[in-house]
Amino acid sequence: MNVIYIVDYPVNGNSGKQKATREKSNALSNNDSIDKFIFISDKPRKGLFSKVFGKIFFDISTAARILPQKNFLVIQRVLFLPLTRVILYFKGIKVISEYHADLQEEIPLMNKSTLQKLLLKVAARFYNFNFHISHGIIYNHPFLKDKFDAIYKKPSIYSYNGSNYEEYYPLKQNIARKELQINPEASIFLFLGSVSQWHGVDYLIDAFNEEPLDNNQNIWLYIVGAKENEYTSHLKKNISNDRIIFVPPVDTKKANHYINASDFCLLPVKQVRTSPGSPLKLYDYISCGKPVITQENLPGYSDEVDNYSLGYSINFTNKISAAKDIYAVYERYDEVKSLFFLKNNRAIAKNKVSWERRMEAWCAFLESVR
């Protein structure tokens, strides 16, 4: 099977989207089912003008690369590549599209300018048309599959994100804390990832502002990945606990240090979208052997944590009960539990939910469609 994987964004950055795509393409290229693999991505661009016209040039260059290819199956995660899509259609190449979010409902929640949101609304029409003319769809969450299968009526699967256990791995906690200048005696709770409205970071701040978390001088909350924007500023204004620390986005190496420096890794979510998403941070957390505290009764979150004994499920939406439940985990935690999660979670990351395992499911689906 020959595969071309097209994404119309750069993949050299540290955002979850770029990181996950980079890791997926690497796992796909090494899958035994794939004889030849071509990966096509855009390059980084700054400024709205550059991004808009960059899309046009990327579309032209991608179409030129596709034109001479034969006997390929295409996987795509794109917003607006009309020329490329026309070439694929007339060449009779089957296209499998990734579906990660309902763009129409997500646009109002984005930290973007009014003009950018307007352009995205225009592009969203083509984005949805892509799925109507695709030959199959890979959703990243069962909620999306349940909603859109009846609309697009295409062969489909859903597939969660996977673990990159080679770049995320256990380190001695004291070494990681020394590197990051974190108090070696403190109990560290960590949220690592982009601070978007749907990631539920406000739930964490509300909980850590409550008793008994706010009164315990040994408990610290680190929020790592917070860009300087209006939403982050809003969150900071609501802090009454001086042990809540915001840290800007970090690279993979430093992210690995922060996870290893922590005692507990937090995975809340705010259900303001059809899909709560498949959190890449979950798999980074467990690759380092850390226990996860996530939202209860939610696919993509508590099902993975509960099924594989990766940590604890609580209700983050109630700040009072969340504070009490987090404190209960902290109080009852000991070296035996720490060693269990170190061994169990690392093993699950490598053997059950790795990108290699996820791409096996992808390739089985591709074979069924082609």
223: left (phi over 0), alpha (psi -120 to 50) or beta: beta
pLDDT at 190: 98
**C-beta separation of 196 from 227 below 8 A:** no
pLDDT at 53: 83
State how far the Cα of 163 lies from the Cα of 280, in Å rounded to an integer.
8
Tell me the sheet residues that pair with 144. Answer: none
pLDDT at 319: 96
pLDDT at 109: 65
Q: pLDDT 10s digit of each residue in the chain, 370 long?
A: 999 999 999 999 888 889 999 999 999 999 999 999 999 999 988 877 787 788 899 999 999 999 999 899 999 999 878 899 999 988 999 999 999 977 676 666 677 777 777 777 777 777 788 899 999 999 999 999 999 999 999 999 999 999 999 999 999 999 999 999 999 999 999 999 988 888 999 999 999 999 999 999 999 999 999 888 888 898 998 899 999 999 999 999 999 999 999 999 999 999 877 889 899 999 999 999 999 999 999 999 999 999 999 999 999 999 999 999 999 999 999 999 999 999 999 999 999 999 999 999 999 999 999 8
pLDDT at 189: 98
**C-beta separation of 224 from 190 below 8 A:** yes
**C-beta separation of 80 from 118 below 8 A:** no
Three-state helix/strand/coil letters over the chain = CEEEEEECCCCCCCCHHHHHHHHHHHHHHCCCCCCEEEEEECCCCCCHHHHHHHHHHHHHHHHHHHCCCCCCEEEEECCCCHHHHHHHHHHCCCEEEEECCCHHHHHHHCCCCHHHHHHHHHHHHHHHHHHHCCCEEEECCHHHHHHHHHHHCCCEEECCCCECCCCCCCCCHHHHHHHHCCCCCCEEEEEECCCCHHHCHHHHHHHHCCCCCCCCCCEEEEEECCCCCHHHHHHHHCCCCCCEEEECCCCHHHHHHHHHHCCEEEECCCCCCCCCCCCHHHHHHHHCCCCEEEECCCCCCHHHHHHCCCEEEECCCCHHHHHHHHHHHHHHCCHHHHHHHHHHHHHHHHHCCEHHHHHHHHHHHHHHHC
pTM beyond cutoff 0.75: yes
**C-beta separation of 80 from 62 below 8 A:** no
pLDDT at 105: 67
